Amino acid sequence: MSESNPDLESFREQWRAEVRARHPAPAATPALTPAQPTTSAAAGPSTSSLSLPNAANAPRKPPPPPTKAPVAVRDGDDDYVQPRAFDDLLSAQAGTSTERPVAGPSSSEPVSALEYYEKAVEREAAGKLGDSLTLYRKAFRMDDSVDQKYKNKHFPRPPPKPTTTQAGGKVEGLKAKAAAEAPQTITDLISSFSTLSIEPAGPPMEGMPAPPCPIAALPDEILVHILQDVAVLDVGDFVRLSQVCCRLAYLVATEDRIWRRVCLGSEYGFAGMHYHWSKQVTWGPLTTEDLLREAEEAESPSDPPGDSPSQQAAPIPLTLTQRNLLHATQSTTTTLAFYQSLYSTWALMFRLRPRIRFGGVYISTVNYIRAGMHNANSISWGSPVHIVTYYRYLRFFRDGTALSLLTTAEPADVVHHLTREAAALHHRGAAPHLPSSVVQSALRGRWRLAHAGDNPHASLSEVEGDVIVETEGVSKYIYRLDLALRSAGKGVGTRNNKLVWRGFYSYNRLTDDWAEFALKNDKPFFFSRVKSYGVMGE
């Protein structure tokens, strides 16, 4: 044994004094002397753990009396090492054990399953997950529905709402309140904008002058004239002006003068619709033979396309100028009056009456499955299957001409080149090196809407919306497409954006007979707007 170190002994005495000051002994316990070391569980382990082995003069301490350890209950589900808590550094320095009983000294020991569950929730909130897990298991062993009891005690359900019979006189008040809080209809909302004006924008910063807003000072007469010019150029842009402010929304929705100009105009309205042929299939002017043929068709509208035209003598047809003048007169009197009786406003007529749209292309996407040929050298059991995809493009022009294209090229590569200039440039395969050569197989044609003379047994509203397209065919043939204008989409704003097949025929100009194509795989046409065609859609 080495000699004792005075500095070390002094340090030990100071440390013991600090421990005694922090943890005073009970009154019944006699004062401790260096010759009689304590046997308590608080000071014994810490003193023995901090005493150095080379202390020669340290008194020899007798072993502490054996204490009866509690019998641990083995849990079959608790086969892993329990976590320790390191949140009580002072008790660890003083030599106290960090493993405390489940119930604190200030609280009573839980008895029922609900008390165990509540204690487990408290331990879990304190971060002592090991103790909370043990308490949770004890609670669920005692009662497997203890969690519902805890929820009912601490989080009770709200009382049920009174029924109609219980509410009594409050029902009428609730109905009146619900009616007052109900959202306004579109008509009422638009009517509430009638007294509003265009509000100029505020200053960008406080103290600075507001930016000028000349349109806010315009009277309604000039503002309506400006909106009418916008509507003539592009109806879509005119309608989108309603998103600017409440005043413009009111004018767009209620100004009937603008919608009348749009309906009667030739830009997008019904003055630009053709109810008789205005061009030849090859885009040339009409001849007397064309007028005579149309007159014969008008005299025998009930003959099906598969039969030969009637052999009776046809009347002398009117000239093109006389016929257009007659049709315009009838449109402004009889036809126009008829449709004014169907639609309450000009805006409603423009939306609901069937019309051809010129600002884009009608596209039909066709997909079908075709069985392939089985290879005798192949080890596969089944035959190959081919998925065939092709597209039909149909574009209408305001002068009564049309372009029809059948190709496998996708719309992104075709729609911007489907113009009359590109079709003329690549006619018969010319200039195949240009990107617009995808339209080299486009067929020239003409279009018109059906009129009352096409079917005298049907009313004008039943015939309205049928579209007839005639295009060039192979060699001596002319193709005829009978279509019908429909509306596709769930929204109420989508109108006249779908063309449904009614029939597909070919006419032999030499033998003067008709043949019908089967429409097994053909799908309807859907309109796609193309902005790059320009303002007039050309």
For residue range 461-475, list pLDDT tens digits in order.
677 889 999 999 988
Q: What is the pLDDT of residue 60?
A: 53
Q: Is residue 391's pLDDT more than 60?
A: yes
Residues 394, 322 share a domain = yes
Is 419 inside any structural domain?
yes
Q: Could you tell me the pLDDT band of residue 37, with boundaries at 50, 70 and 90?
A: very low
**Domain boundary pick from 231, 254, 277:** 254
Q: What is the pLDDT of residue 224?
A: 93
Is 314 inside any structural domain?
yes
Mean pLDDT, to the nearest integer, of 407-413?
92
Q: Is residue 300's pLDDT more than 60?
A: no
Residues 241, 316 share a domain = no
Is 400 inside any structural domain?
yes
Q: Is residue 140's pLDDT more than 60?
A: yes
Residues 454, 414 share a domain = yes
Q: Which residue has the tokens 């596209």?
A: 363
Report the run of H or E that residue 222 belongs to, with start and end: helix 220-233
Residue whose C-alpha is closest to residue 432's, from 441, 420, 444: 441
Find the domain containing 150 and state its range. 108-158
Residues 446, 388 share a domain = yes
Q: Could you tell me the pLDDT band of residue 450, with boundaries at 50, 70 and 90?
A: confident
Residues 395, 306 share a domain = yes
Three-state SS string across 172-229, please? HHHHHHHHHHCCCCHHHHHHCCCCCCCCCCCCCCCCCCCCCCHHHHCCHHHHHHHHHH
Q: Is residue 256's pLDDT more than 80?
A: yes
What residue type is 119 in one-letter code? Answer: K
Q: Which residue has the higher pLDDT, 293 or 510?
A: 510
Count structural domains, the chain.
4
Q: Is residue 90's pLDDT more than 60?
A: no
Q: Could you tell me the pLDDT band of residue 103, with boundaries at 50, 70 and 90?
A: very low
**Domain boundary pick from 201, 234, 254:** 254
Q: Give φ, ψ of 363 to 5 degrees.
A: -120, 135
Q: Which residue has the higher pLDDT, 337 or 333?
A: 337
Is 278 inside any structural domain?
no
Q: What is the pLDDT of residue 480?
A: 95
Residues 520, 456 share a domain = yes
Is 67 inside any structural domain?
no
- pTM of the entire predicted model: 0.59
Is 269 inside any structural domain?
no
Residues 343, 418 share a domain = yes
